[in-house]
Amino acid sequence: MPAEYPIPADRADAFNKAIAAFHNWTVEETRDRLTEPGIVQRYAISEVCDLMEVFDDPMPDNVYQFLCWLAAKHSGEAPNDRTYASGAKCLRALRTKYLSSLEAGSHGAP
């Protein structure tokens, strides 16, 4: 069944970049870790998640698999399904959990 709201290519690209930015944020040691990185200086990860929650298109396999890997690495729950909406909820939860750990000082930030 076709998606009710087909995802524009630029939104799919922004989501892919948000996932990559989250990964880079969690492994980079030189940045102020309490500052959420922006995607090409336009949107924060959380804002991209807001944009994606209405799209029920399926994520490409590589995007879904990378997001599942990130969820496992950060002790989070994988997306409920392969939709961008579910992926956005997963990424938001990972971001929130990671930011909370930084704020609590439980993550070895330099």
Tell me the pairing of strands 43-44 and 38-39: antiparallel
Query: What pLDDT score was predicted for residue 25?
Result: 83
Query: What are the pLDDT digits (tens) for 59-90?
Result: 999 999 999 999 999 999 999 999 999 999 99
Domain boundaries, the chain: 9-104
Q: Is the dihedral of CA 60, 64, 66, 67 positive or negative?
A: positive
3-state secondary structure of 101: helix
pTM > 0.75: yes
| Among candidate residues 51, 97, 108, 33, the one with its CA nearest the CA of residue 71 | 97
- Of 71, 78, 75, 57, nearest to 9 by C-alpha is 57
Q: What is the pLDDT of residues 2-49, one digit of tens each?
A: 667 789 999 999 999 999 988 888 887 555 666 666 654 578 899 999
Identify residue 36 by its one-letter amino acid code: E
